[in-house]
Amino acid sequence: MDTYRNFINGKWVESASTRTAANVNPANTDDVLGTVRQATRDEARAAVEAAANAFRGWRATPAPARGRIVAKAARLFEENKEELAQILTREEGKTISESRGELQRSINVAEFCAGEARRLTGETIPSELPLNFAYTIKQPIGVVACVTPWNFPVAIPVWKIAPALVAGNAVVFKPASITPATAVRITEIFEAAGIPPGVLNLVLGSGSEAGDEIINHPAVKAISFTGSNGVGIRLYEQASRRGAKVQCEMGGKNPVVVLEDADMDIAVESTAQGAFGSSGQRCTATSRAVVMEQVADEFVSRVAKRAESMRIGAGVDEQTEMGPSVDENQFKTVLSYIGIGREDGATLVCGGSRADGAGLDKGYFVRPTVFDHVTPDMRIAREEIFGPVLSVLRVRDFDHAIEVANDCEYGLSSSIFTNDAARIFRFVDEIETGMTHVNSPTTGGEAHVPFGGIKGTGIGDREQGSTALDFYTDLKVVYVDYTGRKREGNLY
């Protein structure tokens, strides 16, 4: 059993803290992977100071050379893909196929960001003045804090760390406390790829102590956060008061809209994948199905049948379709929301309880749950549950569907199922989400495509793709006057 260590200034250092937590397999609580010592404020401060000292040398390293290190990390992720997937499944609980998919996404992101090292370009701009050259350059910010969640504990850190490093920043990586094993392996891979001491630092600790110290340290010039709205908004309030740059990717309450002409086979399977895949623990998970009344009975019957057929169990079993909630707190939260749905008057169609059966008694398993006749004012229609719970809201027509789908504080992802081109493009125009899908699940994305939401979901620049480096760089405008004499007149 491991005791996980911090990585500060190029060295693996065991925390002096006496506060510890066990890293437990959520599919089998008898399986303890290791122990986390919760880093102290002094240790978090040391990590920031190491990053600040390393920044100048890393910034001076040519961008293509920085990119080569990230490219080597991508190759190491590829070589260690199966080992990492097994750790991820054991630590977080997702199925082995989902873990392999997450690792592949991480590899793709690292490869893409490595290539961006040769495209850290600005633009030349025609000046209105004679003999004047105007252009822009992108420069690194300084020390960047990457604060990441437990639900994608490899992919999300990689899609923050890789562009931050390519841009020339030094990084302090603060992962979720309940997924330390994957965080350690990520850091080891970047270390093996050749990251210089202090350029990447890992701090394993609580948000209230280590995290608070990091985000409030004056040397931290930018914070990239993924997690809940409550934490993200507090972080934004704290960091913005001292002028730090902040990027927050937060909650989702993502709708699928099923129209009367939808291919029901595709709509049902896509909705089930989106709602119950990863046990509903994705920010892009499908949590609302907005369904035309004409086809609602059929849709509900079929999606409930699919939910009841899902094979629940430990993710290491290749046949498992849905694993557990990540820990006891999340497990209790999901069951609590199921109780709220019942109390508010929604019709429980299937699920609604802890999953039982062989091999499930020592894990945090919840049966895939479908509620029908949910109304937009119910809490299960408005609040992020982060579990395998689908709420079906019935609507009378397309305009009503758009109204109900948009009646939400979040704006991350959405889907529509129809064969009507006119309504597809109206939906794309009018849906209030940062990403939308046509005849496919709300989940998923590609490494070279921007990722993020609007409304209550997102603050700051988008992540990944063509926007990946925007948050991690400052834009500088340069004017070069080559007249060789003093300018006359008003120069604004």
What are the φ and ψ backbone dihedral angles of 468, each rounded to 5 degrees? -55, -40
- 2 beta partners: 34
| Identity at 306, one-letter amino acid code | R
CA 352 to chain centre: 27
283 is catalytic: yes
Q: Compute the C-alpha angle 6/12/17, nearest 5°.
A: 45
The total of other beta-carbon atoms located within 10 Å of residue 459's CB is 18
| Identity at 312, one-letter amino acid code | I
Catalytic residue among 113, 283, 350, 408: 283
Are 350 and 371 contacting, i.e. CB atoms less than 8 angstroms apart? no
Which of 471, 463, 407, 460 is CA-nearest to residue 435? 463
Are 312 and 297 contacting, i.e. CB atoms less than 8 angstroms apart? no
Which of 229, 187, 235 is CA-nearest to residue 208? 235
Which of 160, 228, 196, 236 is CA-nearest to residue 383? 228
What are the φ and ψ backbone dihedral angles of 11, each rounded to 5 degrees? -130, 145
Name, in order, each residue with C-beta under 8 angstroms of 418's C-beta and a sequence gap of 6 or more: 257, 259, 261, 262, 424, 427, 439
The total of other beta-carbon atoms located within 10 Å of residue 248's CB is 22
- Alpha-carbon torsion angle 42, 48, 50, 56, nearest 10: -160
What residue has token string 């997702």? 94
Catalytic center residues: 283
